Amino acid sequence: MWTWFHKLASPPHFYRLAGLIGPWLLWPSLLLLAVGTYGGLVLAPADYQQGDGFRIIYVHVPSAYLSTTIYAVLAVASAIGLIWRIKLAHAVAAAAAPIGASFTAVALISGALWGKPMWGTYWEWDPRLTSELILLFIYFGYMSLRASFEDLNQADRASGLLAVIGVVNLPIIHYSGMWWSSLHQGPSLKTLDAPSISGDMLWPLLLLIAASTLFFGALLLSRVRAEVLDREQNSRWIQDLFGDSAGAG
């Protein structure tokens, strides 16, 4: 097992493996995205209370789910990099941060668009909304801290420590509706309980969550490959790889 782990942590091996896996995540994600979007916007019936306004969940829920999931990936990768000093783990964290910040921003914007007709305002200092906004600031803080160091090792250590500390916000986001009085709608999907929405509304949502997750995987692999190229630009294997490609061309 450890041999496999160390092999995966090798930049040349990961670069080649990510190049092979990426398309197998991208194309299924686009297919699921098309089917889920059609199911959510066309086939799913209007909600009896919210009307067609409920359809914002097909953007909001996958984005909110990935905003926290990606941060968990970022924090775990940072912890691995700090504990075992695996540079590739820091590359994964650095590549994940802009993606996570983007999904967090989409979750906040889509939530605001839903809140205006439902609550009468685009924003409330609701515990769930506030903690999600803090998550966006943590993403920005992580990326800004990385950019403030010229030395890559120092940038990895400082931003990695911030990422690990910032993980404390994830349970606050998840349980804020239970811990404090909240305007935010309760979860439509629960781990143990039955879903609170009907099946004809549920299946497009599940497809879009799966599509978004696969798309994140494909995008992450692509960004990590770019990060590896930047970090390893003076390595012999990079020169051999592109030297062979140039010679073949």
Q: Render pLDDT for 154-186 as a digit per residue (tens, 0 to 9).
A: 999 999 999 999 999 999 998 887 766 666 665
β-partners of residue 121 are: none
In this model, does residue 117 exceed pLDDT 50? yes
Band of residue 121 on the pLDDT scale cut at 50, 70, 90: confident
> Would you state the pLDDT for residue 143?
98
Residue 228 or 124, more confident: 228
pLDDT band at 33 (very low <50, low <70, confident <90, very high): very high
Check pLDDT > 90 for residue 239: no
Q: What is the percent of the chain with per-residue pLDDT over 70, rounded to a whole number? A: 87
Residue 222 has pLDDT above 90, yes or no: yes
Report all structural domains of the chain as residue ranges with CATH numbers, in order of start.
Answer: 16-243 (1.20.120)
**Higher-confidence residue: 6 or 133?**
133
